Amino acid sequence: MCDYSLEVYGSRPAREGERYVTSRFPSGTIGLTSPERASTAVCLNCDTALEISGIPDSMCREFGIKPDEDAVFIRLDAGTYRDGIRFSNGAEISMQKFPPGVGFAVKQLLENVKTPAGRHPVLDLMGLA
């Protein structure tokens, strides 16, 4: 999923194992791009497991997170922008709060997760199951 405001730009789906960076598009929206193609938005599916690095100290203090954390891509229910990140402490943060330059790596796409019946694959990936 890419935020609706990124629909006017070229986009492609995220790939497992790739690294991306937050970028500000001409519309002002923060989204993910590949370092090789900074003008193309990279879209994530909900429940994609992520490894995030280089989170600014101010965000770490505000949301009780570390500079490098595992998290999950989510759809937020309220607000203008719907792309968000859920951290293991329960903090849900809009992608728009991240400054340009924060690193994101796709740990595992949800469709590639195999877990026993009745278990939630993303919670297993985050060690919360």
Q: What pLDDT digit, counting tens, does each position of 61-113 carry? A: 999 999 999 999 999 987 778 899 999 999 999 999 999 999 999 997 765 54
Handedness of CA 102, 106, 109, 115 (dihedral sign): negative
The reported pLDDT for the residue numbered 37 is 87
Contact call for residues 1 and 45 (beta carbons, < 8 A): yes
Tens of pLDDT along 19-41? 999 999 998 999 999 988 888 99
pLDDT of residue 2 exceeding 90: no
pTM over 0.85: no
Are the C-beta atoms of residues 122 and 110 closer than 8 Å to each other? yes
Handedness of CA 40, 46, 48, 54 (dihedral sign): positive
Does pLDDT of 116 surpass 80? no
